[in-house]
A and B are shown apart, each in its own frame.
Chain A
Amino acid sequence: GAVVSQHPSWVICKSGTSVKIECRSLDFQATTMFWYRQFPKQSLMLMATSNEGSKATYEQGVEKDKFLINHASLTLSTLTVTSAHPEDSSFYICSAEIGIGQQETQYFGPGTRLLVL
């Protein structure tokens, strides 16, 4: 199956610093990648849709200046949490969309756990 990696798998940072999370599709090209946030015992909350070569589309309520997304190539998208605060602590998961015939599915990365002190 399709493999998506994320780096780092976990990160601890001080309040006010910025953190960059990478999402890579390892064995396929992904025109579209998605960024999700998941709080404990809650479902996935879509933050933004990342399209290669164009600006990301953010969901309502997600600050685009705080969560910077760059989809520079067909295999890499990055999420930068700028000026992180403790309330940004969460599990961030990316996914990459792959078309299988007429069916669109997405494969998820293993997630990045962010703790802001």
Chain B
Amino acid sequence: QKEVEQDPGPLSVPEGAIVSLNCTYSNSAFQYFMWYRQYSRKGPELLMYTYSSGNKEDGRFTAQVDKSSKYISLFIRDSQPSDSATYLCAIYNTNAGKSTFGDGTTLTVKP
């Protein structure tokens, strides 16, 4: 079993839709939670990070963490074609000093 599970999709939605991207994890030592966006043939770009359960909002993006369920989500409101990319969740283990990445979910937002 992978330490971080992420549905690879692909996910296709119409412009303006609300997108929900999810990951589950198994290691309770994971403490910091990040979401990255990766466009084709580019390096990942940090979107959001958080370390506590609850919601964190940044513009159209909301990151949600539920440590009791070991479940993290990224919501994108009013999705745009420019949001089309692969979204990677990542969880940082302070004990190990490194992050574990999900496999990424490929999102296409159709105009």
Contacts and interface: CB of A to CB of B under 8 A. Distances in A.
On whether the two chains bind one another, the answer is yes
Interface of A: 1, 4, 6, 32, 34, 41-44, 46, 49, 91, 93, 95, 102-111, 113
Contacts of A1: 46
| Residue picked from A41, A43, A91, A107, most chain B C-beta under 10 Å | A43
A84 B43 CA distance: 22
Given A41-B106, A49-B98, A108-B45, 17 more contacts: A6-B43, A42-B103, A43-B101, A44-B101, A49-B97, A105-B32, A106-B46, A106-B99, A107-B46, A108-B36, A108-B43, A109-B43, A110-B43, A111-B41, A111-B42, A111-B43, A113-B41
A109 B46 CA distance: 11
B78 to A, nearest CB: 23
Interface of B: 32, 34, 36, 41-46, 49, 51, 88, 92, 94, 97-99, 101-104, 106
A95 B43 CA distance: 9
A32 B32 CA distance: 17
A113 B34 CA distance: 25
Contacts of B92: 104-105
B100 to A, nearest CB: 8
Contacts, number: 49
Nearest to B34: A105
Nearest to A110: B43
Contacts of B42: 110-111
A110 B41 CA distance: 8
Contacts of B36: 108
Contacts of B97: 32, 49
27 contacts: A1-B46, A4-B43, A6-B43, A32-B97, A34-B98, A41-B106, A42-B103, A43-B102, A43-B104, A44-B88, A44-B101, A46-B98, A91-B41, A93-B43, A95-B43, A102-B51, A103-B32, A105-B46, A107-B46, A108-B36, A108-B45, A108-B46, A109-B43, A110-B43, A111-B41, A111-B42, A113-B41
B16 to A, nearest CB: 27
Give the 3 A-B residue pairs with the shortest CB-CB distance, closest first: A108-B43, A43-B103, A111-B43
